[in-house]
Amino acid sequence: MIQTIEHGPVRELRLSRPPVNALSPDLIVALREAIEKAPADGARALVLSGSPHRFSGGLDVPLLLGLDRGAIAALWRDFYALLGAIACSSIPVVAAITGHAPAGGTVLALYCDRRFMADGDYKIGLNEVRVGIPVPPLILTAMRRLVGTSRAEYFAVTGELFSPHDALALGLLDELAPTDHVIERAIEWCNHLLTAPPEAMKGTRRLARADLVAIFESGLDAELAQVVAGWWAPETQATLRALAARLGKTTG
């Protein structure tokens, strides 16, 4: 589900779960573990990438609709742990958004140090509301940090998806690159960052990201309970099942 590709001091973790790199329980756990072990392996920066034209389609809704309440609670705990691994990583984590990145695909990028996206006919954004999922506080906080309060409200409440150029203008992205070169550009940026005196860079990065780290040092149990309860709300279940039906999938 994840290809590990070494580029000198930069390790690329490429999502490889066809057809759209949707986030299953197993992929979420595997990605968290890969991020957490990278510094001990000697990696000095990470690039999260996807397949051509698809970064990640977000949570694998058809699969998740077949899970029971215990499994859904575990899924959300693991997803929060994955976001915490990105936010608290001791080495830079950069998103190379190789294509479409709705919902969970966008969420992964929110917690990265920098976001590069392929310049093409792709979509990115928090469309959770459109598929019946209230945006969790943890995600809204990260969006506010990136684009500001008003724009975060616009992204989250409307549930709209945006083109790369619009997302760049709104502050969700940092840079666009040709589809065939977006990973290369992310690696190039990492290598440039690593030319700085390492202790000065690491210390300043820790200070700059302390607010993100603090989110995960506070108690999140109550929030997780609210998120899980929202998943089972009748409106959410009905909307998600309608989505799965449109996708032509069978759910449990």
The band of 247, judged by pLDDT with boundaries at 50, 70 and 90, is confident
pLDDT at position 249: 52
Using a cut of 0.85, tell me whether the model's pTM lies above it. Answer: yes
Residue 252: pLDDT above 90? no
Specify the DSSP class assigned to residue 81.
H
Reported as a single tens digit per residue, the pLDDT across 77-136 is 999 999 999 999 999 999 999 999 999 999 999 999 999 999 999 999 999 999 899 999
CB count within 10 Å of CB 157 equals 12
Residue 250: pLDDT above 80? no
d(CA 198, CA 34): 22
Reported as a single tens digit per residue, the pLDDT across 129-181 is 998 999 999 999 999 999 999 999 999 999 999 999 999 999 999 999 999 99
* CA 245 distance to own-chain centroid: 25
**Length, in residues, of the chain:** 252
Reported as a single tens digit per residue, the pLDDT across 17-36 is 999 999 999 999 999 999 99
The residues, ordered by sequence, that sit 6+ positions from 27 with a Cβ below 8 Å of its Cβ are: 1, 2, 15, 17, 21
Q: Indicate the CATH number for domain 2-193.
A: 3.90.226.10
d(CA 241, CA 243): 5
Reported as a single tens digit per residue, the pLDDT across 185-204 is 999 999 999 999 999 999 99
CB count within 10 Å of CB 91 equals 19
The band of 44, judged by pLDDT with boundaries at 50, 70 and 90, is very high
Q: Is residue 126 within 8 Å of 143, Cβ to Cβ? A: yes
- Give 133 or 251, the one with higher predicted confidence: 133
